[in-house]
Amino acid sequence: MTPLTLAAIPLRVSARVTNPILLNEHKGSAVRGALFEALRKRSCARLDLASCHPCELVPVCPISALVATVDPEWERGADPPRPLVVDPPLDPDVEYPAGASFQFGVTVFGSAGRLLPYLVLALSDAGRAGIGRRYQSAGLWTRGRFEVERVELVSLFSDEVQVLYPADGQDTAARAVFRSPRTPVLPADVQGSLDRFQTHGQVAIELLTPTRLVRKGELIRSFDLLAFLQRLRERLESLERRYGQPASRPEAMPSSATYPFDAAEAAAGLRVVNDDTQWREVRAYSHRQRQALQLSGLTGRVTLAGDLAPILPYLAYGQLTHVGKDATKGNGWYRLLPSLPALERDDASAGGVAYGFGAVRGSQLGVGRRHVELHRVLADAQPPRDHLVR
């Protein structure tokens, strides 16, 4: 059992393209940028400011709380970790014609879940305002647009899917209502699903998007197990400290260097039996900053063996939080897979699917085949509240 209390609300957003979308290779940056602009236009009272740092409304601002966190009293600087990550589309396409499907994920953590209605409104606003590169059509400049058709809470640790929008299966044109999640995903949910992440005493980690690991201020261009576990530990600890449930934690946390686990001790009990990772050069353009951003990192698969029991629950939950730098833009997204022999048997029948950051087979969309064929479950219980999406 882990000491973590950090809840997660992992949303899968399914949309239909209404105006052709053109994206760069790093799609997560475009999704995050569109959400930021939508939140800013709907909720910001100080559009005259270039950033959130000097704003006196930061303590009560949903934008700052979700995507531009500012807290001068945060013990590690004025920029606490953001409680939101984007899971970008993993298909190889960068152009989506009108009528095409467009799917991505957004996960909100801990106490920031109270702001979920703002995020859902921003999803619809972002689709109408536009996403991706600008281009000319019929002599006019335009951008890609989409209409949100479905929002679901999808747990990696069970086969349950909560349909949140449209509520009650209503047609979106007839009744635009968002249903609050019946229950979030909790760290305790991991325990009952650990067997599906390992076989033959091994676990494979598929780095789906560029993973930027830093050691002593320098980017690491090859997989380093200790650095990976250190960054994962730091990620979980900072999110827990900021957005977890203080009443459920010990009054005095153990040393931050070993909470929630000792990375050095865990690494000493493991070995890398296969490393098929590679460095991917990826850039994105920030319209807000008016400059190109380097978002390169490691992708591919690495297989671990050894004493997995102490570290596996944290590796499993890290699939939701991502690991390394630029996680909020979609970097550092990984999946745990069964060991290589099991994958090879599965792949013989499953076939392969190419993704934007490398080849990832069909069984790797979720965590094994059970998560490819998720059962769709409509919640029968009454939610705490519904929200109109205008």
Domain count, the chain: 2
Q: How far is CA 279 from the centre of its chain?
A: 21
- Indicate whether 119 and 75 sit together in one domain: yes
Whether 118 and 151 map to the same domain: the answer is: yes
CA–CA distance, 305 with 313 (Å, rounded to integer): 15
CATH number at residue 217: 3.30.70.1900
Mean pLDDT (whole number) for 56-60? 85
With 70 as the cut, is the pLDDT of residue 383 above it? no
| Helix pair 27-43, 116-129: axis angle to 10 deg | 110
**Which has more confidence, 287 or 141?**
141
pLDDT at 329: 94
Tokens of 174: 């007839």
Task: Please give, one letter per residue, the 3-state secondary structure of the chain.
Answer: CCCCCCCEEEEEEEEEEEECEECCCCHHHHHHHHHHHHHHHHHCCCCCCCCCCCCCCHHHCHHHHHCCCCCCCCCCCCCCCCCEEEECCCCCCCEECCCCEEEEEEEEEHHHHHHHHHHHHHHHHHHHHCEEEEEEECCEEEEEEEEEEEEEEECCCCCCEEEEECHHHCCCCCCCEEECCCCCECHHHHHHHHHHHCECCEEEEEEEEEEECEECCEECCCCCHHHHHHHHHHHHHHHHHHHCCHHHCCCCCCCCCCCCCCHHHHHHCEEEEEEEEEEECCEEEECCCCEEEECCEEEEEEEEEECCCCCHHHHHHHHHHCCCECHHHCCCCEEEECCHHHHHHHHHHHCEEEECCEEEEHHHCCCCHHHCCCCCECCCCCCCCEEECC
Q: What is the mean pLDDT of residues 28-35?
A: 94
Q: Is residue 373 part of a domain?
A: no
pLDDT band at 52 (very low <50, low <70, confident <90, very high): confident
pLDDT (0 to 100) of residue 382: 33
Answer yes or no: is 241 within a domain: yes
Q: Is the peptide bond before 384 cis (omega within 30 degrees of 0)?
A: no
Q: Quick check: 308 and 270 in contact, CB under 8 A?
A: yes
pLDDT given for residue 390 in this prediction: 45
Q: What integer is the mean pLDDT of 245-255?
A: 55
Distance CA 37, CA 49 (A): 14
Same domain, 158 and 202: no
Mean local confidence (pLDDT), 153-164: 91
Residue 300 covered by a domain: yes
Omega before residue 59 within 30° of 0, cis:
no
The residue with greater pLDDT, 66 or 31, is 31
Mean pLDDT of 258-276: 95
Quickly state the pLDDT bin for 340 (edges 50, 70, 90).
low
Query: Distances from the Cα of 371 to the Cαs of 196, 337, 338, 365, in angstroms?
Result: 10, 11, 13, 7
* 209 shares its domain with 158: no
Tell me: pLDDT of 208 over 90.
yes
Is the domain of 112 the same as that of 223? no
Model confidence at 159, pLDDT cuts 50, 70, 90, reads confident
Query: Is there a single domain that holds both residue 194 and residue 340?
Result: yes
pLDDT of residue 187: 93
Domain range for 18 is: 8-186+379-388
Q: Does some domain include residue 372?
A: no
Max CA pair span of the chain: 63
Same domain, 200 and 101: no
Instruction: Give the Cα separation of 134 and 155 in Å (integer).
Output: 35
Please check whether residues 325 and 193 belong to one and the same domain: yes
Q: What is the mean pLDDT of the chain?
A: 82
Same domain for 207 and 158? no
- Mean pLDDT along residues 145-153: 96
The pLDDT assigned to 332 comes to 98
Tokens of 257: 């260097």
pLDDT, mean of residues 260-286: 92
- Residues in CB range of 70: below 8 A, 6 or more apart: 52, 53, 55, 58, 64, 78, 79, 80
More confident residue, 190 or 68: 190
Tell me the one-letter amino acid at 23.
Answer: L
pLDDT at site 286? 62
Residue 255 has pLDDT above 90, yes or no: no
C-alpha R_g of the chain:
20
State the pLDDT at residue 385: 43
Mean pLDDT throughout 166-195?
A: 78
| Single pTM value for the model | 0.83
Per-residue model confidence (pLDDT) at position 348: 37
Size (the chain), residues: 390
Residue 75 clears pLDDT 80, i.e. is over it:
no
- Classify residue 259: in a domain, yes or no: yes
Residue 141 lies in a domain: yes
| 333 vs 266: CA distance, rounded Å | 21
Give 236 or 290, the one with higher predicted confidence: 236
User: Is the pLDDT at 371 greater than 50, yes or no?
Assistant: no
Domain assignment of residue 3, yes or no:
no
Reported confidence tier of residue 176, pLDDT bands at 50, 70, 90: low
- The reply to whether 223 and 252 lie within a common domain is yes
Whether the pLDDT of residue 165 is over 60: the answer is yes
- The pLDDT of residue 38 is 93
Between CA 94 and CA 90 the distance in angstroms is: 10
Residue 360's pLDDT is what? 43
What does DSSP say about strands 218-219 and 84-87: parallel, antiparallel, or unpaired?
A: unpaired
Same domain (yes/no): 170, 196: no
pLDDT in tens, 93-117: 999 999 999 999 999 999 999 999 9
**Percent of the chain scored above 70 by pLDDT?**
78
Residue 335 has pLDDT above 90, yes or no: yes
| Domain assignment of residue 142, yes or no | yes
Do residues 172 and 225 both lie within one domain?
A: no
